Amino acid sequence: MAWNSSVVMQMGRFLLLVILFLPREMTSSVLTVNGKTENYILDTTPGSQVSLICAVQNHTREEELLWYREEGRVDLKSGNKINSSSVCVSSISENDNGISFTCRLGRDPSVSISVALNVIFPPLLSGNNFQTVEEGSNVKLVCSVKANPQAQMMWYKNRSLLDLEKSHHQIQQTSESFQLSITKVEKSDNGTYSCTAKSSLQTESLDFHLIVKALHEG
């Protein structure tokens, strides 16, 4: 039993030495962006500019950093890569909403941290404002919409909330459009239709003028 205890003690010392003399490069480095250690969402607005500063914590040697915009590599100057690296995102637009920037450790891309842009803006509406159709035909009024936060959408006719008729009107909504379909258009459908978007920021409206001509009218 004494001999067995001695063997166990020697094995314990050996394991301790192995742990103590593991290559220092195996020490896990931690990345931060603007002082944060985890992925996060950054609120911003159109026309603004943000700076993202990535830094290596617990590094034992010079570490190269890489920046990515979505899947595309960001070109960095030679003096903006080692241990600390920054990117400046300027002229932010509505189209940048949801775009992510990721900082990675050059020697180990699995060590990374990401920042997603949350671009906050009021509703932006667009569409074909004038349409002329014949009686009996079908027509679609397509209101393209962008908004963050998401807007509540409504259709109005001649400034009054549109009274939807099940067999005559159909509404379809996606993340980017709000569509009113009118089946077998009648003269009474003639008028101004308003696509209205209401968000917590503000309410916007876009008019669509529908002109219904009698069948075979010149």
pTM greater than 0.85 (yes/no)? no
- Name residues whose C-beta falls within 8 Å of residue 158's C-beta, 6 or more positions apart in sequence: 191, 192
Whether the CB-CB separation of 79 and 86 falls below 8 Å is answered with no
Buried-state track 64-85, b at ≥16 Cβ within 10 A, e below 16:
ebbbbeeeeeeeeeeeebeeeb
Whether the CB-CB separation of 84 and 63 falls below 8 Å is answered with no
Peptide bond into 149 cis (omega under 30): yes
CA distances from 140 to 74, 127, 161, 205 (A): 43, 11, 18, 18
Q: Pseudo-torsion of CA 51, 57, 60, 66, nearest 10°?
A: -40
What is residue 153's predicted lDDT score, i.e. its pLDDT? 97
Whether the CB-CB separation of 7 and 13 falls below 8 Å is answered with no
pLDDT of 19 strictly over 90 = no
What is residue 60's predicted lDDT score, i.e. its pLDDT? 85
Q: State pLDDT tens for residues 111-139.
A: 999 999 999 999 999 999 999 999 999 99
Q: How confident is the model at residue 6 (pLDDT cuts 50, 70, 90)?
A: low
What is residue 211's predicted lDDT score, i.e. its pLDDT? 96
pLDDT of 216 strictly over 80 = no
Comparison of pLDDT for 60 and 20, the residue scoring more: 60
Burial-class residue 181 by CB neighbours within 10 Å (0-12, 13-18, 19+): middle
SS3 percent helix, strand, coil of the chain, rounded to 5, is: 15, 50, 35
In the numeric block, the tokens 């003690």 are attached to 9
| Residue (of 213, 209, 192, 210) closest to 136 by Cα position | 213
pLDDT of 162 strictly over 60 = yes
pLDDT of 2 strictly over 60 = no
Estimate to the nearest angstrom the gap between the alpha carbon of 179 and the chain centroid: 23
Q: How confident is the model at residue 215 (pLDDT cuts 50, 70, 90)?
A: confident
Estimate to the nearest angstrom the gap between the alpha carbon of 111 and the chain centroid: 23
Name the amino acid, one letter, at 207. Answer: D
